[in-house]
Amino acid sequence: MAAIESRDVSVKELFRDFYIVPSYQREYVWKKVQVRQLLEDIRAEQQEGTSSEYFIGSLVVCPSQVRKGADDLIDGQQRVTTLFIILCAIRDRLSLLGEDSLEGIKKSIVDVDTDQDGNDCLRSHLEPQYKDAGNAFNDLIEGNPIKKSETRSIKNISVAYSTAKQFLLDDLEDSRDEIRKFFGYLMKNVKLIKIYTDSFGRALKIFETINDRGIGLNAMDLLKNLLFMSADEREFEYLKECWKSIVDDLYKINEKPLRFLRYFIFSTWGVPRLAKDELYEWLINNDEKIGLKNSPVAFTERLREALEAYAGFLNKKDRYGKDSYTLENISFLYRKHTSARQYLVLLLAGRHLSSEIFSVLCRDIESFLFVCILVKEEIRTFEALFARWSLRLTKVKSMEDYRNFAKETFQAQKRKHANKFYATFKGMDDRSLPKYQFDYVLGKLTQHVDKNAYGGNHPLSYYCNSKEVHLEHILPKNSNGDVFKEFGLGVDDPRLISSIGNLALVEKSINMSLGNKPFSQKRRIYPKSRYLLTRIISERPDIGDTAIDRAVLHMHPFDKWDKNSIHQRAEWLADLACAVWDVPIDDYGKGLEMEGR
């Protein structure tokens, strides 16, 4: 036989042979939309005329390394598996409709084979060996309901079967004759290109060539293919387990595999720009420095280690598995934008740092991100910026190294935006940001003052608990006659009412007492709050030269509340913001200490 043989086969011819999906292959991933599309396309072609042929793609096989007489399915297993599931659905539906003559369908699913001892045995024409398949295929073959499972593959197999069954009920009107005709067209007129090669290595090379360096297939699948091509067969089992853990972990954290792979490359080799369809070609062209072909197992272990850290960061844990309040803060910033994860490039690059330095890195990332959000810096530029910074970050060995790095990166960038940040913050109101980000702002300001005054380490969630912590408008939204008399002109100006200078956090119980009262009455209630930033609105703690006094040194209580008071407090909060987010501006309030750094 020639080393490579290619021919057109019908589905009927396809399932005369026995196929094994090797254990290193990825599990079944087709969803309802792909299964439904395949069925609808076949049906549309059938309706064009019974003589029309419909090609649905190719498959690559080689002699099985598991069992003689069978072929290992190297490429095309998603499509072949779907065809197999469709055949099972047709068999089951026709059986329920009272069809007796099902031998043709059954022989395409299970047939007689000869075992090693020369005895007849029944074998399925498709046998997946990856663990996630579980007993789902046994249920399919025997016509039993697929047992519920938490594995993604079994869920997808079950959905594919249900989709095929529903197609028979709806599109073919559950008609025995229509289902029979569809089955006949499927078996004889639907065709594939079957490429047979005499060796596993050659089959993998064909697989790579057919998929044109990542354009036709997910780069993660091509990367896996390349790893197995480069590995010794004795390493297959370990490599398979490593790769499976990577796929499973990506699924658990609901992360896009290609985004993780891009960020891994950015953080490790400082590549500033790389589109998804360029990933595989980049890996091939840069193999000399990344060692993918020479050390496939070591590369996979490195990828798995990076993913372990990556998953921890998304779960708000530092590199050492400890809860990180700062990573939780970043999640507050991007609560409704899961696509904004460019900061993970820097976290990956810094995962080698000591716990102390890594904590400072996280705080610097948080402050930098918020500054950029407030001044409306385009986040799409962050990938290239963070990739460039990553190479420098990987060389940091000490706190002194890190300070030099931060000065030339985070601080330099924030200095460019400092004046705009200050002006924007001073003019901010509760409509300037989405509510969850505005909650973050007030929470951070209040947390910072409390931490400097009392110590302790309450997380930001302590201040952003909407059930227990309410937003107080010092000048009420709905003013009554008493408020009007005290405040005067501008009492109904929405810009003043929603200004950052007019807002504070208070406990739920205190907010109920405040209501729409005038300031002369509210000023007696604010000191009851546990939040120092709220208490200072009307009363300064009289304790002496203590941390509490120093925390609010630059702020003063107000005897009355008017337009000027709102503007004054907005300026004080803008000064405070420069300290909280470490914005290096020279001319903001000198009395604020840059504590907590």
Asked if residue 502 lies in contact with residue 465, where contact means CB atoms within 8 angstroms, the answer is: no
Q: How far is CA 595 from CA 79, 355, 407, 408, in A?
A: 61, 20, 17, 21
CA distance 141 to 519: 77
Is residue 519 a contact partner of residue 487, using CB atoms and an 8 Å limit?
yes
Q: What angle do CA 426, 427, 428 make, to 5 degrees?
A: 95
CA distance 389 to 262: 15
**Cα angle, residue 272 at apex, residues 268 and 278 outer, rounded to 5°:** 90
Q: Which two tokens stand for residue 220?
A: 């993660």
Give the tokens for residue 322. 């400890």
Cα distance between residue 132 and residue 336, in whole Å: 32
Amino acid 213: pLDDT:
39
| Chain centre distance of CA 493 | 42
Please report where in the chains the tokens 């020479």 appear, as a residue: 294
The amino acid sitting at 256 is K
User: What span, in angstroms and rounded, lies between the C-alpha atoms of 427 and 425?
Assistant: 5
- Alpha-carbon gap, residue 589 to 576, rounded angstroms: 8
The residue type at 105: I
| Cα distances (angstroms) measured from residue 127 to each of 25, 130, 133, 169, 338 | 12, 9, 10, 28, 38
Q: Report the pLDDT value the prediction gives residue 114, as an integer from 0 to 100.
A: 74
Residue with tokens 């604020």: 592
Q: How far apart are CA 374 and CA 94, in angstroms?
A: 63
Do 421 and 587 contact (CB within 8 A), yes or no?
no
Task: List the pLDDT tens digit at each of the 597 positions of the chain.
Answer: 457 888 899 999 999 999 998 876 778 889 999 999 999 999 999 988 767 789 998 888 988 877 888 998 888 889 999 999 999 999 999 999 998 888 889 999 999 887 777 777 888 999 987 766 768 888 899 989 888 776 788 889 999 999 999 999 999 988 999 999 999 999 999 999 999 888 776 776 676 666 543 334 567 877 887 888 788 878 888 998 898 899 889 988 989 888 999 999 999 999 988 888 788 889 888 988 898 889 999 999 999 999 999 999 999 998 888 999 999 999 888 876 666 789 999 999 999 999 999 999 999 999 999 999 999 987 777 888 999 999 999 999 999 999 999 999 999 999 999 999 999 999 999 999 999 999 999 999 999 999 988 887 889 988 987 788 999 999 998 888 888 888 877 777 889 999 999 999 999 989 889 989 999 999 999 999 999 999 999 988 765 556 766 666 778 899 999 999 999 999 999 999 999 999 987 654 433 333 333
In angstroms, the CA 353 to CA 369 distance is 21
pTM of the model: 0.74
Q: Distance from first CA to last CA of the chain, Å, rounded? A: 72
